[in-house]
């Protein structure tokens, strides 16, 4: 086993430290966040920090890096007040990784990285047509993290688009069938295989599996 103290971590070579620390907490879901700038040019960026904030009403959040350089996603969300979150699958993952390149303002990552803008009803921001789970959100609040100026963005879920093939009659989404990917740190992608779905855990009882429930 390797043991590192805080000082040891600070003394690591920069890229070694980034790789280690970003991967320590495990594999996160990969999502493409879609926004629109003030000229109507769409922006798309990959994020590994989307978290569940609440189910009733439904909210999601994600972490933005500090505003020490221009963050088009941040500026666009603050300007337009809406954004989309789109799940990445194995088929999409290389193109999704490419959205992390520093495209200049005025160039849409949708076009540059082979994704299709999908507008639905009156929602003002494009979804990613290739994605099997598309979520439309309205900006709610932001929190500046004092220690390093990262920002937590919180959005309310205004719209959900997903294929009924993957939704069971009790609201479960089959993420193995959807072939969703996870990402560790900034560079390593993983596919998923379902181990099991378990009942609500109770003191003094053994964990039991929920059997397959028919799709809707």
Site stretch for its own copies (CB under 8 A), options 29-37, 67-75, 76-84: 29-37
Residues 181-200 touching its own copies, rule: CB under 8 A, are 181-182, 184-200
**Contact between 26 and its own copies per CB under 8 A:** yes
Count CA within 13 A, CB hemisphere, residue 79: 15
**Contact between 129 and its own copies per CB under 8 A:** no
Shortest approach of its own copies to residue 37 CB, angstroms? Answer: 17
String of contacts with its own copies for each residue 75-114, x by CB under 8 A = ----------x-x--x--xxx-xxxxxxxx-------x--
Q: What Cα–Cα distance (Å) separates residue 21 from each residue in 10, 15, 80, 190, 213?
A: 11, 10, 33, 18, 38
**Contact between 211 and its own copies per CB under 8 A:** no
**Contact between 10 and its own copies per CB under 8 A:** yes
**Contact between 23 and its own copies per CB under 8 A:** yes
**Contact between 135 and its own copies per CB under 8 A:** yes
| Cβ burial, residue 202 (10 Å; 0-12/13-18/19+) | exposed
Phi, psi at 87, each rounded to 5°: -65, 140
**Contact between 16 and its own copies per CB under 8 A:** yes
Of the pair 13, 38, the CB lying nearest its own copies is at: 13
Query: Measuring CA to CA, which residue among 39, 152, 183 is closest to residue 104?
Result: 39
Q: What Cα–Cα distance (Å) separates residue 62 from each residue in 30, 48, 74, 129, 207?
A: 11, 8, 11, 21, 31
């Amino acid at each position: 086993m390797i043991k590192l103290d805080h000082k040891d971590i600070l003394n690591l070579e920069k890229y070694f430290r980034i790789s280690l620390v970003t991967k320590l907490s495990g594999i996160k879901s990969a999502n493409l966040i879609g926004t629109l700038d003030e000229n109507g040019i769409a922006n798309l960026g990959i994020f590994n920090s989307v978290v569940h904030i609440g189910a009733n009403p439904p909210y999601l959040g994600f972490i933005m890096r500090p505003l020490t350089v221009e963050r088009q996603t941040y500026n666009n969300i603050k300007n337009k007040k809406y954004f989309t979150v789109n799940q990445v699958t194995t088929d999409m993952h290389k193109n999704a990784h490419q959205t992390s390149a520093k495209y200049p303002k005025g160039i849409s990552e949708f076009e540059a990285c082979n994704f299709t803008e999908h507008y639905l009803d009156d929602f003002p921001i494009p979804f990613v047509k290739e994605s099997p789970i598309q979520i439309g959100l309205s900006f709610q609040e932001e929190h500046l993290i004092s220690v390093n100026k990262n920002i937590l963005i919180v959005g309310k879920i205004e719209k959900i688009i997903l294929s009924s093939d993957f939704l069971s009659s009790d609201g479960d989404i089959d993420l193995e069938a959807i072939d969703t990917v996870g990402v560790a740190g900034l560079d390593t992608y993983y596919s998923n295989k379902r181990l099991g779905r378990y009942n609500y855990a109770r003191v003094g009882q053994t964990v039991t599996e929920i059997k397959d429930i028919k799709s809707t």
